[in-house]
Structure formats: structure tokens, C-alpha cells
């Protein structure tokens, strides 16, 4: 829900017996997107759980008269466009869309997946290689294509601490990735930003310099970043010949092989 905010998305969760306002035993939750909540929620957060519901009444007075002391605050949010939310039911067995709405299921797949973010400098050499090779390894392990990974629980991305955005991967990276069965032809570089970091489950950097840059610019945002190569830096191959890129890719594969069991088991 936090990754999707402020999207029209409702999550249904199994409710304990006796909880009111359930739908077939499921309670519905939605992150409110009205700007008023930026003020209201922090002000009442210390008072305990806060239940927010759309009354669908024409006026705040109508809701107050109908519900009486059941509610503490009634707000008229004014006329707003009606976007039917997509309802997702989450349970131990997984999740499923129970009511189609404005939020596309493909986006839910991506946001519900484990998000892995590789970080380098310009996002044209090392982190794109790591992204492409991680997708290849995960797809091989799960018996699917790289495009199907979000539906299987993994969304793999890359970014750069000094990337401008929109740049292609280096020709050498594209060629070496292809030699190893991975595809970098459609890569477009992106800069690191707080939204990416907050959404990520794993942030994997190439050097200590990248770790320091992330800590200095985005303190406390997202999971603690770590180095791909354990305690060692992965040198930038930019400007070098194809063999240096191949050596870089082999090192990436070696350490991805060490990390992958964390995500999919041995």
C-alpha cells in the first residue's frame, strides 16, 4: 500500500472474529490520498488506531446524523473524481484481485514483489550488468522469462548516484550481457531517488563510495545498503576493453551466486 500510495487500491486482510465492518470475514484497508490526512494523521497517531472510511453521503452533516457518536471526525472532502479502487485480498496463500478497478493488476504484481535495487555511479555499466544478470539467474531458477519475474515475486532494478537518466547501457555492457544470455538492449539509466530507496527491499551497491553517497544524501531512507562483493569494491570498467567487462561480469555472477539463495533458497 505504501509503494502504491496514493493509488486507488484497497487491501483486504483476514479479520479476527467480532471485528465489525468486514466483507466475508475480511477487513478492508486503504491509504487515504486526500491532502488533509497529511495534517490529521500525525495529530492523532498517538491516540491509537485510526479508522478512516468513505461515507458516500452528500454532506458531512448527513454522515454525522446517520452515524452519531460512532465517529469522532467527519470531513467533507468536496467534489472529487470517482475512481473505483482495485480490491486485493491478501492471505497466507497469496493475493488475488477480488474487484477490478482503476489500479492495473500488472502494477500490483510489481509492487507486491521483492524489489532489488543495484546502484553504481552512472547506471550504464556495473549496475545494469548486475540487474540483467540477476534477472537471468532468477528467471533460470524459477523457470520463467525475465519479463515474468514480477509475477513470480521479484522486481529487479538499477540506478546511479550520478546518473542523468535516459542513457543507454554501454555498448560493452550490452555485448557482454548478451554473451551470458541476458538482455540490456532496452536499458535506460535512472538516478537514485528517495522513492526508489523507500520501495526497495534490497539495495546493493558496487563500491564503498556509493554506500557513503547513499548514506549522506538519503539518511535513514530505505533498507541498509550493502556491497555486492562483500567487503570489496567492484571497479568501474568504463573505457576499458571487452575483456575487462567480461571480468567484471564474472565477478558479478560470482557474488550473485552467493546472494541468490537469500531470495530463492539453495
Which amino acids are annotated catalytic?
120, 126, 236
CB 180 within 8 A of CB 249: yes
Contacts of 106 (CB under 8 A, 6+ apart): 150
Q: Is 72 exposed, middle or buried (0-12, 13-18, 19+ CB in 10 A)?
A: exposed
C-alpha cell at 185: 538492449
Residue 15 in 3-state DSSP?
coil
* Those residues with Cβ within 8 angstroms of residue 250's Cβ, 6 or more apart along the chain or in another chain: none
**Pairing verdict, β 114-120 and 86-91:** unpaired
> Distance between CA atoms of 9 and 87, rounded to whole angstroms?
6
Is residue 11 classed as helix, strand or coil in its secondary structure?
strand
Residues in the chain: 266
Amino acid at each position: 500500500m505504501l509503494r502504491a500510495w496514493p493509488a486507488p487500491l484497497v487491501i483486504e486482510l483476514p479479520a479476527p472474529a467480532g471485528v465489525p465492518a468486514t466483507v466475508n470475514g475480511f477487513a478492508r484497508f486503504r491509504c487515504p490520498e486526500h491532502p488533509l490526512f497529511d495534517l490529521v494523521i500525525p495529530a492523532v497517531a498517538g491516540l491509537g488506531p485510526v479508522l478512516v472510511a468513505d461515507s458516500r453521503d452528500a454532506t458531512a452533516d448527513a454522515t454525522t446524523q446517520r452515524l452519531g457518536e460512532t465517529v469522532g471526525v467527519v470531513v467533507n472532502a468536496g467534489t472529487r473524481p470517482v475512481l473505483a479502487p482495485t480490491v486485493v485480498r491478501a492471505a497466507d496463500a497469496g493475493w488475488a484481485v477480488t474487484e477490478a478497478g482503476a489500479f492495473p493488476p500488472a502494477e500490483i504484481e510489481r509492487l507486491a514483489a521483492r524489489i532489488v535495487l543495484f546502484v553504481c555511479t552512472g547506471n550504464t555499466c556495473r549496475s545494469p550488468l548486475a540487474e540483467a544478470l540477476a534477472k537471468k539467474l532468477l528467471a533460470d531458477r524459477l523457470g520463467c522469462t525475465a519479463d515474468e519475474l514480477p509475477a513470480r515475486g521479484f522486481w529487479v532494478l538499477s540506478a546511479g548516484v550520478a546518473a542523468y537518466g535516459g542513457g543507454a547501457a554501454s555498448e560493452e555492457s550490452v555485448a557482454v550481457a548478451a554473451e551470458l544470455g541476458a538482455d540490456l538492449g532496452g536499458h535506460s539509466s535512472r538516478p537514485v531517488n528517495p522513492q526508489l530507496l523507500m520501495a526497495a527491499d534490497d539495495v546493493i551497491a558496487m563500491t564503498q563510495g556509493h554506500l557513503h553517497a547513499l548514506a549522506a544524501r538519503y539518511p535513514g531512507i530505505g533498507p541498509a545498503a550493502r556491497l555486492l562483493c562483500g567487503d570489496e569494491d567492484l571497479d568501474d570498467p568504463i573505457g576499458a576493453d571487452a575483456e575487462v567487462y567480461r571480468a567484471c561480469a564474472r565477478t558479478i555472477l560470482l557474488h550473485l551466486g552467493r546472494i541468490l539463495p537469500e531470495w530463492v533458497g539453495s
